[in-house]
Structure formats: C-alpha cells, structure tokens
A and B are shown apart, each in its own frame.
Chain A
Amino acid sequence: MTPGPIISTHDLNLWYSDTHALQSISMKISKNHVTALIGPSGCGKSTLLRCFNRLNDLIDCVKISGEILLDNENIQSAGTDVVMLRKKVGMVFQKPNPFPKSVYENVAYGPRVHGVKDKAELDKIVEESLRHAAIWDEVKDRLNDSALGLSGGQQQRLCIARTLAVEPEVILMDEPCSALDPIATAKIEKLIDILKRDYTVIIVTHNMQQAARVSDYTGFMYLGKLIEFGQTNQIFENPHEDLTENYITGRFG
C-alpha cells in the first residue's frame, strides 16, 4: 500500500532577485519513503530542499509563490511557527557541523531548546537518538568528549542523531555523504534505509549511484524545473524524458 504524501508542492516558484530558481514545481513526497533529488549543479535541488523547512527565509532577496503543504497545512502561510516547522522537518548538511560541545550536549541541545529539562529524560532521548543514528556503540564511552574529536562519518551520524532528538517527521539531507569516505558513506546509506521506517527522508545528491541505491522515488531537476519524477527504478532503467536519460548516462552535467 502506498501511503499518502506527507509533503506536496503546487506550482511552487522561487526567485533570487531576478533569477527564477524554481519554476512551477509540483510534486508529492511519500511518507516513510526516501525521495532523492538529482540534477546538475545550480538546477535548484538544494533550493527546493530548503523550501521544505523554510531555510530560504534567511535570504533577503528570496521571493516565493505557490503552495507547500506539510500534513495538509501550507507552511508558506504567515501563521506558520517556523521553529516548530524546523522541529518537524530536520536537516542534515553536506559538511558535518557538530556544535563545539560534547557529544551528549550536541544531541541534548534540541530537546532542551524545546523545553525538556529532566536529566533522566534527556539521557533517554540522547541514548535513543544515538542508537537510532547507529553511532551509540562508538560513542557511549565518550559522551562527554568533544564532538569535534569524532571522525567525519561519526560527526555526520551525530548530526543525524541531533536531528532525531527533536522527533522530526521529515529529514532533509543535503549531500550528506559528499565529505565522507566510502566506508562512512556506506554506513550513512544503511542508516537512511533504516530511518525510513520511522521518518520520511528527502536527499539531495550528486552521486547518482547513491540516489539509485538509497531512494524509492527520484526527481530529476534541470534549470529550476522538475523534469521528471517517478519511482527510482523507472528513472534509472527507463527514464521517459530525454533530458533525464542524457543526464544519468553522463552525456551532460
């Protein structure tokens, strides 16, 4: 059974000043599935990803039109609580960016901001989040050590744990493995596969093999447009659009 969409966009447009960076994007993101966005640099995939938790609000010259529905509520509306939105829609970035604090504090930070004060409860959240991010066994004896002492792959999984600690519904990943070696990458990919049982994952990646490996659905973007969106095996075995075909077979991009 295919679950309904958790996020859907209708005629979404975004301008950076005069640059029309996203052009009439309409798509549906399925709950508890992994959706990958692929396309050449500058095609708008990160911009689209950042629409889903309104990170583009931080850029002055951005103008947005159209609708983005999360659980059937338009997150673009003036009444949206952006802090709560970003709790629901967490994000992991290209370069691991742990806070210059201990492993424990990195994960406890979010719940604390959202009002959790009880030490026992925080301990529980920290352990569960680290377990869920498949890093608990590696850090359980060094929870008070600086997070900056971890390896790149561990730091990235810590950032995922930090995201999980505030119980999001959706996790956005912007090139989460591009700064990691193949072994750390494999761990993150395995983790993504596990995370989709409880969360919806949207991943932006330049690595097409990675998109093919980890995702259920793939969207191909080009020059601000969503050219093709479909099940991942269809996109990579038999794309319907020539542009998609040419991109994934390396003929441009």
Chain B
Amino acid sequence: MAGTAEKLASLRATLATAGLETLVANARVPLGHASADTALKGGLERGALHEVYAATNSETAATAFAAGMAARVSGKKKILWIRQDFSALEFGEISATGLVDLGIDPSQILLVCTAHADDAIKAASDALTCAALGAIVIEIPGSPKILDLVTSRRLTLACAQKNVTAFLLRFSARPEASTAETRWRVHAAASLKDEENWGQPIFETELVRNRHGRTGHWVMEWNCDEGLFREPSGGKAAHHRAVVSAPGDGPAAAALEGARAAHAVG
C-alpha cells in the first residue's frame, strides 16, 4: 500500500512539473472528514452541482456548511454568492465579519442580490461560463418553479464545461428531482456536552444522495483555523440524536430517513 501511495505522489509531481496541474486540480477535493471523504471516493467533485438543503431553523448552519465546501473547492479563487432578496430578509444577510470568523476571506466573495429565483438562475448560468471562478453558491428559499430537472441538468452541464463547482443552497424547500452530484441535508448540532462554552461550528449532515458512492450521516465540525471539516474534536458519543424529519418532507423524505438509518455512521 505504501508503495502505491508513493507512486501516486511521484506521478502527481511529474504531472505538476509537466505543467499539467489542471489535471491534478480536477481531482476531488477532500472535505477533511475522513469517513465522509471515503463515501465521496476521496472528496467533493469539482465542476459539478451539489445541493445543500437546510433543515428548518438550521439555515445558518447550512449556509456555513455550503460556505465551507465552496471555500474548500475554490482555494484562492473567487466565490460568487447569489442570493435572493427574500432570503436575506428572512434569514439575515451574509456578514463579512461572520465569514472572517469562519476563516473565510470575505474579499474572496462576490455577492449578487436578485429579486427572483429566475434571476438567480440567470446569474448562475452566466457565472458558470467564467472559469476564473472557484465556486458559486445559489441561495434560494422555497420551491420556485424554475428549479426543475431541466434547470438542474443545465447547471450540471455548465459546471462541467468550465470546471466551476456550484452549490445550490435551499431553505424551507422540499427535495426535488435533480441531476446533482450530491445532496446534503444539514441540521445545526449542539456543542459537545463536555464543553463549557461553545466551540467551532458543528453540523449534523446527511448525505442523502451521492451519484458515485454511498450515502451517509455524519456529525462534522468546521475547523476555522485550517479551513476544513473534521470529526468533532471532543468525541462522537455526544451526538446520537434522533433526527425528526422536517414537517412536509413527505413519504419521499421518510424513505430517505430509512436509507440514512441504514448508512448511519455517527
């Protein structure tokens, strides 16, 4: 095994010196959380569409989760954050100081405010033609008509074409058919019991859909210093809690719940 790893490393080095970094860059980007990365076959795929659904009242957690993933795949490149006006009114505006505290450079982020979901998708389609972007985040509350399978396919194709990663951040929405590479469901998680004060941002994440691998359920912590996700440092025992499906999730969600139970890793 060690031999294989070495060989891989030397191959990468060769590629890099040959000026083919882009090939290496195309590789999946590890989130940092070991078992999630295993399920993702090494990490989050670049140049693909990923969906993040926020559980009720966990919108900010989902925001941070999406921001973290976008920062992971972007490196130093810019992130275009498209948000609908209603989202800012209802859940609050993305705050620069909040980003700083997450270890994400606010100067890296461009914020596009749109009045409607249609405009948000238009902006996203345009942005996905710009290869200089690292990632885009499309924050859309509710379930507007435009977010159908056709749009999803169009975004997926556009992502692949210029290798820009897109995150569709959905608030108060029910899961819909899509061609996304992965779909996550994010709940806020409580700080660990043994901590007197709260620690780093912590999420209960369910990978409810994964095109090229298995699904799973993990508690992840965002490490603001290193800019990666990882297992909560205080131990995992604290985080067994029954997740109640959000009202209105319906039978499809119930089926997902079942699937999640089967894959629960904890």
Q: Do A and B come from the same complex?
A: no
Please list the residues of chain B having a beta carbon within 8 angstroms of any beta carbon in chain A: none
Please list the residues of chain A having a beta carbon within 8 angstroms of any beta carbon in chain B: none
